[in-house]
Structure 1
Amino acid sequence: MDVPGTLLLGLTLVSLLLPLTEGRAAGWPLWTWVALAVSPFAALAFYLTERRADRLGHTPLVPPSLLRLVSLRRGLVMLAPFSVGFSGFMFVVAVALQQGLRMGPVEAGAALVPMALGYFGASLAGPRLTGRFGSRVVIAGGLVQALGIALVLAAVRYGWPDLGIAGLAPGVAVAGLGQGLQQPVLMRLMLSDVPADRAGVGSGVMITTQQSSLTLGVATVGSLFLALVAPLGMRDALAVTLLVQLGLIAVTTALGLRLPRVVR
Structure 2
Amino acid sequence: MTQTSAPPIGVPAKSPLGPVALTTLLFGAFLPMLSFFIINVALPAIGTDLQATPGELQLVVGSYGIANATLLVVGGRLGDGFGRKRLFMVGLIGFTVTSLLCAIAPTIGVLLAARVLQGATAAAMTPQVLASISSLLTGEHRARALAMFGVVGGAAAALGQILGGVLVEADVFGLGWRAVFLVNVPVGLFAVVAAVKLLPETRADKAQRVDVVGAALLALTLVLLLLPLTEGRPLGWPLWTWLSLAAVVPALALLGLHQHRAEKAQRAPLIPPTVLRLKAMRIGLLLAMAFFTTFGGFMFVFALATQGEAGMSPLEGGLSLLPMAVGFLITSVYGPRLQARYGAGLIVRDWLIQAIGYAVLAVVALALWPDVTPWTLAVPMLIAGFGSGLVMVPLMGVVIGQVPPAQAGLGSGILLTSQQTCLALGAATVGTAYLSLSGTSWGQGGALAAVALAITAISLLMTPVTRQLQ
- Contact 1:69 1:194 (8 Å CA) reproduced: no
The 1-side partners of 2:333 and 2:399 are apart by: 19
Of 193, 199, 202 in structure 1, the residue corresponding to residue 411 of structure 2 is 202
Q: Normalised by the size of structure 1, how large is the TM-score?
A: 0.96
Q: How far 1:169 sits from its partner (Å)?
A: 0.4
Deviation at 1:128, TM superposition (A): 0.7
Percent sequence identity over aligned pairs: 42
State how far apart, in whole Å, the 2-side matches of 1:209 and 1:80 are. 6
Q: Secondary structure at the match of 2:377?
A: helix
Task: State the distance in 2 between where 1:48 and 1:188 align.
Answer: 29
Asked if 1:190 corresponds to 2:190, the answer is no
**3-state SS of 1:100 partner:** coil
1:239 is aligned, of 441, 444, 449, to 449
1:11–1:42: 8 Å Cα contact kept in structure 2?
A: yes
Describe the SS at the equivalent of 1:218. Answer: helix
Structure 2 counterpart of 1:30: 239
Instruction: Tell me which residue corresponds to 2:186.
Output: none
Shift of 1:243: 1.3
Q: 1:82–1:252: 8 Å Cα contact kept in structure 2?
A: no
CA shift, 1:173, in A, is 0.6
Match of 2:249 among 11, 16, 40: 40
Q: Which residue of 2 aligns with 1:76?
A: 285
Which residue does the alignment assign to 1:142?
351
Alignment of 1:89 onto 2:298 = yes
Counting matched residue pairs gives: 260
Equivalence for 1:251:
461
Amino acid in structure 2 at the alignment position of 1:180: G
Name the CA distance, whole Å, in 1 between partners of 2:453 and 2:327. Answer: 21
What pairs with 1:149-164 in structure 2 (closer than 5 Å)?
Answer: 149-164=358-373
1:114-147 Cα distance to aligned partner (Å, 9 max, x none)? 1011012113312111111111110111111111
Aligned partner of 1:234: which letter? Q
**How much does 1:220 deviate?**
1.1
2:226 aligned partner, one-letter code:
L
**TM-score calculated relative to the size of structure 2:** 0.54
- Letter of the aligned partner of 1:237 in structure 2? A
What one-letter code is carried by the residue in structure 1 that aligns with 2:445?
R
Distance 1:195 1:243 in 2: 39
Q: Judge conservation of contact 2:335–2:390 (CA < 8 Å) in 1.
A: yes
Aligned AA (1:9): L
Offset from partner CA, 1:179-227 (integer Å, 9 cap, x none): 1111011111111121111111111000001111111111111111110
> Are the aligned partners of 1:142 and 1:178 in contact in 2 as well (CA < 8 Å)?
yes
Structure 2: distance between partners of 1:172 and 1:9: 35
Higher-Rg structure is 2
Q: CA RMSD in A?
A: 1.1
Secondary structure at 2:376's aligned position in 1?
Answer: helix
SS in 2 for 1:62: coil
The SS at the match of 1:57 is coil
Q: CA deviation at 1:251?
A: 2.5
Q: Residue type matched to 1:110 in 2?
A: L
User: Does the CA contact (< 8 Å) of 1:80 and 1:209 recur in 2?
Assistant: yes
| Structure 2: runs of 5 or more not aligned | 1-209
Q: Which amino acid aligns with 1:15?
A: L
Kept in 1, the 8 Å contact 2:362–2:450? The answer is: no
Matched AA of 2:450: V
User: Shift of the alpha carbon at 1:150?
Assistant: 1.4
Structure 2: distance between partners of 1:193 and 1:4: 25
- The gaps in structure 1 that reach 5 residues or longer are none
What SS does structure 2 have at the residue aligned with 1:189? Answer: helix
What secondary structure does 2:446 align onto?
A: helix
Does 2:243 align with 1:13?
Answer: no
The reply to whether residue 116 of structure 1 matches residue 325 of structure 2 is yes
1:132 aligns with 2:341: yes
| Distance across 1 between alignment mates of 2:214 and 2:402 | 24
Counterpart contact for 1:81–1:251, Cα < 8 Å: no
Distance 1:153 1:23 in 2: 27
Task: Tell whether the 8 Å contact from 2:355 to 2:457 is kept in structure 1 after alignment.
Answer: no
Larger helix fraction of residues: 1
Name the CA distance, whole Å, in 2 between partners of 1:32 and 1:199: 37
**In structure 2, how many angstroms separate the alpha carbons of the residues matched to 1:35 and 1:23?**
10
Q: Deviations over 1:23-69 (max 9, x none)?
A: 11111111111111111111110011011111111111111111122
